[in-house]
């Protein structure tokens, strides 16, 4: 999904804050290149951080939190696991002749 909002808050783990701060200018520049010159205001959330138990990644928030993109390792692994469930089911139990689709 594309996030084309002009004001975006980046939420990260507290230990990763300095790293994220250091790459924000490069990210802003790359965003301008990709979107054809659109400006974006990226701000790191210094009041609410991701749980320290999160392995890594970020959350992007726009429109005062109404739009939220979770791009953490755990969220990506969960997405992959959900996509692989049909293949796992077929590998464990064989193809079900009563299922028209393999979802």
Question: Residues 46-59: pLDDT tens digits?
Answer: 999 999 999 999 99
Percent of the chain predicted with pLDDT > 90? 71
For the 7-72 domain, the top CATH level (class) is alpha beta
86: which residues sit within 8 A by CB, 6+ positions away? 102, 103
Question: Residues 9-25: pLDDT tens digits?
Answer: 999 999 999 999 999 99
What token pair was written down for 48? 């609410």
What token pair was written down for 60? 């992007």
Q: At 102, is the pLDDT very low, low, confident or very high (cuts 50, 70, 90)? A: low
Give residue 1's pLDDT.
Answer: 55
**What residue spans define the domains of the chain?**
7-72
């Amino acid at each position: 999904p594309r996030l084309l909002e002009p004001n975006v808050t980046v939420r990260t783990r507290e230990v990763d804050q300095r790293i994220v701060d250091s790459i924000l200018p490069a990210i802003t520049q790359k965003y301008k290149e990709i979107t054809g010159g659109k400006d974006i205001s990226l701000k790191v959330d210094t009041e609410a951080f991701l749980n320290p138990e999160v392995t890594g990644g970020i959350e992007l928030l726009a429109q005062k939190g109404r739009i939220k993109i979770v791009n953490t390792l755990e969220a990506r692994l969960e997405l992959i696991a959900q996509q692989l469930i049909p293949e796992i089911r077929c590998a464990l139990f064989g193809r079900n002749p009563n299922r028209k689709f393999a979802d």
